[in-house]
């Protein structure tokens, strides 16, 4: 990879983490809604999976943030409209906060529950946070977890819509520099 390419594109690690985490988060949003609308054995299986995937997202987010500090992203491409760059910057920053805060609050919910249920991540049992236990505490953390979760889902519609608009309408390199190998240039 020559210097110009690495200046213009996201690194392979950043691309890998972006897509793996995007898949995990999208699946986890679906599991959350299925869990909230199911009962009995099915509910337990889906919720355990939600907690497990969510906790993995928390660990991956920390790795991703560390990687971003070590290897800063390429500068944003000049947008067609003046508002595009700041809006993209705000949404990306919000995603980084949410990718840490949402699973952290989920972890808090599980730790504050009056009756705790283990959080299993690929056979490893995550410790509980040293927080106050009780219905009210778990409920407050749950409210934050939910509001942020659904806000993220709404922002994702905007984010995905913007990526598709750049690729199919503007025909620029915004989506291509977040894929590996780069997509065919459509310009
Ligand atoms: C990518 C990370 C996560 C996202 C995007 C996410 C999102 C959500 C959303 C949107 C809900 C509300 C569902 C609804 O009421 O329809 C929810 C519920 C819940 N989440 Fe998460 N969550 C994540 C990680 C976690 C983690 C790490 C835990 C715990 C270790 C957790 C525990 C819970 C619990 C206990 C519920 C309640 C489910 C139910 O009512 O059946 N979440 N989550
Ligand atoms: C849960 C799902 C997703 C999350 C949390 C997410 C999050 C992010 C974040 C935080 C960035 C900024 C990366 C950085 O600068 O370090 C980013 C960039 C990007 N994302 Fe996503 N993303 C998701 C799904 C998607 C999907 C489905 C698409 C395409 C359809 C997409 C396309 C892009 C593109 C093209 C960029 C680069 C933007 C640029 O160069 O300015 N993302 N995403």
Please return the burial class of 4, using the count of CB atoms within 10 Å of its CB with bins 0-12, 13-18 and 19+.
exposed
Determine the average pLDDT of the residues in 117-136: 97
10 Cα–ligand 1 center, Å? 30
All structural domains of the chain, each given as residue ranges with its CATH number in brackets, are 3-178 (1.20.950.20)
67-90 pLDDT tens trace: 999 999 998 887 668 889 899 999
Q: In the structure, what pLDDT confidence band is assigned to residue 5 with cuts at 50, 70 and 90?
A: very low
Determine the pLDDT at residue 182: 72
Q: Confirm whether pTM is higher than 0.85.
A: yes
Determine the pLDDT at residue 69: 97
142 Cα–ligand 1 center, Å? 8
Nearest CA to ligand 1 atom 21: 106
36-55 pLDDT tens trace: 999 999 999 999 999 999 99
Is the beta carbon of 36 within 6 A of some atom in ligand 1? yes
**135-to-23, 74, 105, 108, 126 alpha-carbon distances in Å:** 32, 45, 15, 12, 21
41 Cα–ligand 2 center, Å? 35
CA dist 114 and 137 (Å) reads 9
Determine the pLDDT at residue 146: 98
Determine the pLDDT at residue 184: 67
Is the beta carbon of 177 within 6 A of some atom in ligand 1? no
140-174 pLDDT tens trace: 999 999 999 999 999 999 999 999 999 999 999 89
22-40 pLDDT tens trace: 999 999 999 999 999 999 9
CA dist 113 and 16 (Å) reads 35
User: Is residue 1 scored above 50 in pLDDT?
Assistant: no
Nearest CA to ligand 2 atom 4: 22
Nearest CA to ligand 2 atom 8: 92
Greatest distance between any 2 Cα atoms in the chain: 57
**Which residues are registered as beta bridge partners of 121?**
124
Q: Give the SS3 label for residue 25.
A: helix
13 Cα–ligand 1 center, Å? 27
- Cβ atoms 114, 143 nearer than 8 A: no
Pick the closest to residue 106 from 124, 90, 129 (CA basis).
129
95-116 pLDDT tens trace: 999 999 999 999 999 999 999 9
Ligand nearest to the CA of 96: 2
Determine the pLDDT at residue 57: 98
Q: In the structure, what pLDDT confidence band is assigned to residue 3 with cuts at 50, 70 and 90?
A: very low
Is the beta carbon of 23 within 6 A of some atom in ligand 2? no
**106-to-41, 51, 78, 131 alpha-carbon distances in Å:** 20, 8, 37, 13
Task: Estimate the crossing angle of helix 84-112 against helix 135-165, to 10 degrees.
Answer: 150
- Cβ atoms 110, 117 nearer than 8 A: yes
159 Cα–ligand 2 center, Å? 7
């Amino acid at each position: 990879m020559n210097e110009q390419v690495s200046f213009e594109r996201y690194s392979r690690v950043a691309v890998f983490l972006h897509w793996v985490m995007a898949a995990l988060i999208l699946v986890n949003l679906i599991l959350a809604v299925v869990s909230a609308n199911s009962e009995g054995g099915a509910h337990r299986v889906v919720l355990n999976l939600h907690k497990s995937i969510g906790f993995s997202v928390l660990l991956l987010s920390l790795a991703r943030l560390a990687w971003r500090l070590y290897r800063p992203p390429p500068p944003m491409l000049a947008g067609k409209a003046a508002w595009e760059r700041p809006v993209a910057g705000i949404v990306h920053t919000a995603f980084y906060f949410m990718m840490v805060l949402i699973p952290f609050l989920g972890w808090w919910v599980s730790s504050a529950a009056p009756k705790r249920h283990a959080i299993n991540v690929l056979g490893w049992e995550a410790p509980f946070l040293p927080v106050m236990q009780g219905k009210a505490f778990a409920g407050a953390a749950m409210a934050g977890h939910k509001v942020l979760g659904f806000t993220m889902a709404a922002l994702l519609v905007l984010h995905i819509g913007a990526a598709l608009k750049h690729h199919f309408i503007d025909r620029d390199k915004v989506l291509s520099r977040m894929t590996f190998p780069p997509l065919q240039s459509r310009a």
